[in-house]
Amino acid sequence: MYQKARLGKTDLYVNRIGLGANAVGGHNLFPNLNEETGKDVVRTALDNGINFIDTAFIYGPERSELLIGEVLKEKGNRQDVVIATKAAHKLVNGEVVMDNSPAFLTESVNSSLQRLQTDYIDLFYIHFPDENTPKDEAVGALKKLKDAGKIRAIGVSNFSIDQLQEANKDGHVDVLQSEYNLFKRDVEQEILPYTEKHQISFVPYFPLAAGLLGGKYNKESKFEDIRAKNPLFQGEAFERNLDKVEQVREIANAKNAEVAHVVLAWYLTRPSIDALIPGAKKPEQVTNNLKTLDVQLTADEIDKIDRIFRS
């Protein structure tokens, strides 16, 4: 299944369902990952029409980029794939700090090029803002790398509206990636109107809210991982959230679809959300994510889902 969309003002066209590759070599994020399975995830994506792969230096660290680079070299179809990666994390005296300085971003792009075994990166993000670097100066460094042909598009991630406006002072930002899902909708207030006005694509991460919007949990579900401290999964709030998910299930059942497919399809109706990057730990999850593109929501269904999560 393939639906093509343009990212912002760029010349990059991607399948509206991409692949978030933080579980490909992301050993610091997920325990007991099998790297060969991770490479199979990437292969499955490429073999099934997904041409938008999202990774980052910090996934591993470095391992995700390295594994994706191996698959790209093996497949030999680099020109058909849109690769996005990110950097900002820097180790200083044993602690990770954010660095958006032009020197660090330039070094990061060059290092990512080596790990990905390519001579250009399609979309390069500043992963997190730092406390010191003027945002337009950081983006200006990426513009120089774009002019040099090392990157094709400029992204920022986890930027507030003020930081985004500063970063985009010269109109060079093409894509913003930040957290957004039906339980966390604060970007709808200022950020989505800004990205729509300025032709900046918005790519949400955590679209299924740590799995809660996937429709797999019930009131007896117990959690011993990071979700155990997530307010969405606590007590009465968890029960209220499950009730909302069950209302989406009614729509999904009528379409012979999964809750996750309906939720992801709803995001694709939002202004400036041109593509999604759901993750996958197994190849079959990649092909399952693509079923989102089979879901067609009516205007009434779009409005109903909106109301469910505003109540």
Nearest to 88 by CA among 27, 158, 137, 140: 158
**CB 24 within 8 Å of CB 41:** yes
Tokens 């969405």 sit on residue? 232
**Cβ contact 52:82 at 8 Å:** yes
Helices (H), 48-134: 63-75, 102-115
Residue 231 near residue 267 (C-beta atoms within 8 A): no
Quote the tokens at residue 292. 């989102």
Q: CA 105 to CA 157: how far, in whole Å?
A: 14
Rounded Cα distance between 72 and 61, Å, is: 19
Active site residue 125: no
CB-CB neighbours of 77 under 10 Å: 10
- Among 2, 13, 59, 267, the active-site one is 59
- d(CA 94, CA 302) in angstroms, rounded, equals 48
- Cα–Cα distance between 147 and 28 in angstroms, integer? 34
- Catalytically annotated residues: 59
